[in-house]
């Protein structure tokens, strides 16, 4: 199992893409630029003169309705969670995302197109070490029947549970030990989903104008309306894990811990990320002694790197 490694990274060259915005239905262009160590993942409005670039943080989140939106100066950039999850999951630490509009294109509703674009240009290792958040004591956030907790672990693990009063979905659980490989294979392809009755209501309110069967799984009572069906049997609960990872990416550190989420969504994900960051007595920020990828799943060696942190 290839892990994230000790050193920071960026992309080897610029990525350009465009696509429809989920909310506006408009075509939006994006350029992702390589960036130096300690720059972080920053977003900037390319369509606005003198727009400042903003380093993402759970505290820069403006709205969690339908998607995660951040504020960039006084302006919003919406639907950042899938591209954020892709940088986080693939191990990309430093990039400037220049968006020529108010939202990141929804593309196919998953993080797979971003993963493919990152793989096409390649990832470059920088000379400065990456910082990890290592959880030492359990943290739990509960709100309106939803729950997210993080427990100490030597790995970066996510378990998500969903429980819908719907015959097609019902109760489902997914567990992933996150590495660039498992992220690309198991989480990135999982698409956004919604119910036909909600889509009809959103359209009547002038929302989700760009939403279609090309960028979301749509469920009508006991069936999927998309002609191709699901990409994997647990695609929906895996998408919840993808969203959670995208929202946790805003903390700026990959973590050593096990996140367990029950009925999670963007709002509680953001509350959890904020609560985690301010609970400085529950975690340590560490650097790794050596390349984790050279250690693989050798647990004693990973512990050794903790011991020296």
Binding residues: 82, 239, 243
The distance of closest approach from Cβ of residue 230 to Zn ion in the complex, given in angstroms and rounded to an integer, is: 15
For residue 253, the tally of other CB atoms under 10 A from its CB is 19
* Coil/strand/helix, residue 268: helix
DSSP string, 44-57: EETTSTTPPPEE--
The distance of closest approach from Cβ of residue 217 to Zn ion in the complex, given in angstroms and rounded to an integer, is: 11
- Measured from the CB atom, the residue of 45 and 240 that comes closer to Zn ion is 240
DSSP category for residue 237: H
The distance of closest approach from Cβ of residue 254 to Zn ion in the complex, given in angstroms and rounded to an integer, is: 20
Distance CA 163, CA 71 (A): 32
Active site residue 266: yes
- Measured from the CB atom, the residue of 3 and 215 that comes closer to Zn ion is 215
Distance CA 54, CA 96 (A): 9
CB 4 within 8 A of CB 154: no
Non-local (6+) Cβ contacts of 69 within 8 A are 61, 62, 63, 76, 77, 78, 79, 80, 103
The distance of closest approach from Cβ of residue 109 to Zn ion in the complex, given in angstroms and rounded to an integer, is: 7
The distance of closest approach from Cβ of residue 82 to Zn ion in the complex, given in angstroms and rounded to an integer, is: 6
- Out of 23, 33, 258, 266, pick the active-site residue: 266
- Measured from the CB atom, the residue of 84 and 192 that comes closer to Zn ion is 192
- Measured from the CB atom, the residue of 80 and 118 that comes closer to Zn ion is 80
User: Which residues contact Zn ion (rule: CB under 5 A)?
Assistant: 192, 243
Distance CA 228, CA 226 (A): 6
Q: Which residue has the CB atom at the shortest distance from Zn ion?
A: 243
Binding residues for Zn(2+): 82, 239, 243
The distance of closest approach from Cβ of residue 202 to Zn ion in the complex, given in angstroms and rounded to an integer, is: 15
Distance CA 192, CA 216 (A): 5
Locate 163 and state its tokens.
Answer: 């429980």
From residue 164, give the alpha-carbon distance in Å to each of 58, 169, 211.
27, 6, 22
- Measured from the CB atom, the residue of 110 and 179 that comes closer to Zn ion is 110
Distance CA 298, CA 309 (A): 18
Bridge pairing between strands 156-163 and 171-177: antiparallel
- Measured from the CB atom, the residue of 69 and 192 that comes closer to Zn ion is 192
The distance of Cα 172 from the centroid of its chain, to the nearest Å, equals: 20
Nearest to 258, CA basis, from 142, 139, 172, 114: 139
Locate 154 and state its tokens.
Answer: 């030597």
Q: Catalytic amino acids? A: 266
């Amino acid at each position: 199992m290839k892990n994230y490694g000790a050193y920071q990274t960026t992309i080897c060259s610029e990525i350009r893409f465009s696509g429809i915005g989920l909310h506006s239905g408009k075509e939006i262009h994006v350029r992702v630029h390589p960036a130096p160590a300690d720059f972080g993942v920053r977003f900037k409005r390319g369509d606005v003169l003198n727009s400042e670039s903003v380093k993402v943080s759970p505290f820069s989140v403006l709205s969690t309705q339908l998607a995660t939106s951040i504020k960039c100066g006084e302006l919003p950039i919406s639907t950042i969670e899938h591209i954020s999850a892709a940088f986080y999951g693939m191990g990309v630490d430093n990039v400037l995302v220049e968006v020529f509009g108010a939202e990141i294109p929804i593309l196919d509703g998953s993080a797979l197109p971003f993963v493919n674009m990152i793989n096409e240009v390649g990832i470059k290792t920088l000379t400065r070490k990456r910082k990890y958040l290592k959880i030492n004591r359990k943290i739990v956030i509960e709100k309106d029947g939803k729950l997210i907790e993080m427990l100490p672990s030597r790995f970066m693990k996510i378990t998500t549970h969903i429980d819908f009063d719907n015959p097609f979905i019902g109760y489902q659980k997914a567990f992933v030990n996150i590495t660039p490989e498992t992220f690309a294979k198991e989480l990135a392809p999982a698409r956004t989903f919604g119910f036909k009755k909600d889509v009809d209501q959103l359209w009547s309110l002038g929302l989700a104008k760009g939403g279609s069967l090309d960028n979301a799984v749509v469920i009508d009572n006991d069936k999927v309306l998309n002609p191709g069906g699901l990409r994997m049997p647990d695609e929906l609960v895996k998408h919840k894990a993808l969203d959670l990872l995208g929202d946790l990416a805003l903390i700026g550190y990959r973590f050593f811990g096990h996140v367990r989420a029950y009925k999670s969504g963007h709002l509680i994900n953001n509350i959890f990320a904020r609560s985690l960051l301010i609970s400085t007595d529950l975690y340590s920020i560490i650097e790794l002694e050596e390349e984790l990828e050279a250690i693989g799943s050798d647990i004693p060696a990973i512990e050794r790197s903790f011991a020296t942190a």
